[in-house]
Amino acid sequence: MGARSLEDGSCWWCGQLADSKEHRFKASDLRWMFKDSPSLWLDAGERPARIKGPGAKAVLFPEVLCRDCNSERSQPFDEAYSVFFRYICADTERFRHPTEYSMEKIYPFDVQGPGNLARYAMKNFACRIASRGFEVPQQVIEFMNGAEGT
């Protein structure tokens, strides 16, 4: 498998038909933010956009992943992010000034948690690369498939 791009309509991760839109921000986080507000504003450096819900076009990448990669394959990564997000929200003060964070405190019973959190971030980054029409580097795909970072 080589690096893939948006132009050929294939999933940047596995090469199958890209038929799924990934959220730029986790959908559950967006739903949580919308619980007290009918809309949100997103300023992504262009012009601010009013977002009326978690399915708004402004919070979705174009179809750069297949459904299987966007749901089944990346589910452990999404869960690792959710654990991290809940940990932050439980006590936001602990993240204000420290220069180090203990992954053992965040993932006390999951040795794969930190790596899965990194893969969650890399999935988002790779979707950004693909959505801009660039090829996702093979090293990123290998990392997503379980290779250790170098």
pLDDT at 1: 44
Asked, for residue 150, whether it belongs to a domain, the answer is no
Domain that holds residue 54: 6-144
Q: What per-residue confidence (pLDDT) applies to 102?
A: 87
Contact 13, 138 (CB under 8 A): no
Identify the pLDDT of residue 108: 94
Say if 149 falls within a structural domain: no
Looking at the whole model, is its pTM more than 0.85? no
Kindly report the average pLDDT of the chain as a whole number.
81
The answer to whether position 1 is within a domain reads no
130 within a domain of the structure (yes/no): yes
pLDDT digits (tens, 9 = 90+) for 40-82: 656 666 667 666 656 666 666 687 899 999 989 999 999 999 9
Backbone φ, ψ for residue 47 (5° rounding): -120, 145
Report yes or no on 134 lying in a domain. yes
**Structure confidence at residue 92 (pLDDT):** 82
CB 117 within 8 A of CB 78: no
- By the 10 Å C-beta count (0-12 exposed, 13-18 middle, 19+ buried), 12 is classed as buried
Q: What are phi and psi of 118, to 5 degrees?
A: -60, -40
Number of compact structural domains in the chain? 1
Q: What is the pLDDT of residue 98?
A: 75
List per-residue pLDDT tens for the chain, 150 residues long. 445 555 678 999 999 999 977 766 666 666 666 566 665 656 666 667 666 656 666 666 687 899 999 989 999 999 999 999 888 888 888 878 777 788 999 999 999 999 999 999 999 899 889 988 899 999 999 999 998 755
